[in-house]
Structure 1
């Protein structure tokens, strides 16, 4: 399977006082604002690149894990994934994925193995050049 996706970022002004907007091809984000303040100070309504990477990574990982669980004859009731993106000294240095799963009839060891495989083969994990940590909770264990 091959496909492409498109997003656009428009920026005006200086780095600190300027403002920008991000639009995705699906229009889920449609001129969503971002700025120095939303990126480095959490001071305004808007998004930032690190938050978007976290959302993309959490979504990709959850879907990948769902596919791998299905391949092993399990279906998750819920997979809830938080991605914490750490930015320091001009670089993303770490992403921690917090996984809470509710998967009937799976044991904790199987869940751990499948989740770690999902982390390794998730397309977003593969494109990121940073440490990716996975913390797992299985609710029905």
Structure 2
């Protein structure tokens, strides 16, 4: 089993508070996030773009594997994941992720390409996560 970690630290209220996000690899190191980075155009990141980047990366890597199984190798695969955050009642929900893929695969037929892309969309680990059971250990510290 492989385990990776991401961490978030937050101080203050929802609108006036600030937080930092870090990853085990150091790709993000105390990267700022807050109300202004999520709902406005402030500097920093937000959970939705991080989910989008993770999904685009996972899907694209999975597609490369599916293409390999079908005897194809991509010159280039470029994926964008648009994550929709919608206001619902007093809160928000992530309602959709739309993947847009641009691919250059010498010798690929449309049918083989579409089959590989669908298989990758259905079975990449992040696609599966978005339908997974999420568990929580919550500890209140004094």
Q: TM-score, normalised by structure 2?
A: 0.88
2:79 equivalent among 59, 78, 81: 81
The alignment partner of 2:80 has SS state of strand
Rounded to whole Å, the distance in 2 between the matches of 1:35 and 1:92 is: 17
Match of 1:16 in 2: 15
Match of 2:96 in 1: 94
Deviations 1:44-97 (A, max 9, x none): 110000000000000000000001101111100000000000010211111000
* Higher radius of gyration, 1 or 2: 2
Cα deviation, residue 109, structure 1: 1.1
Number of residue pairs matched by the alignment: 127
Cα deviation, residue 114, structure 1: 0.7
Cα deviation, residue 127, structure 1: 1.0
Matched, 1:35 2:34: yes
2:110 equivalent among 97, 108, 111: 108
Rounded to whole Å, the distance in 2 between the matches of 1:118 and 1:27 is: 27
The alignment partner of 2:100 has SS state of strand
Question: Structure 1 stretches of 5 or more lacking a match?
Answer: 130-141
Rounded to whole Å, the distance in 1 between the matches of 2:123 and 2:130 is: 12
Cα deviation, residue 112, structure 1: 0.6
Within 5 Å, which residues of 2 pair with 1:42-61? 42=41, 44-61=42-59
Match of 1:69 in 2: 67
Match of 2:137 in 1: none
The alignment partner of 2:128 has SS state of helix
Q: TM-score, normalised by structure 1?
A: 0.88
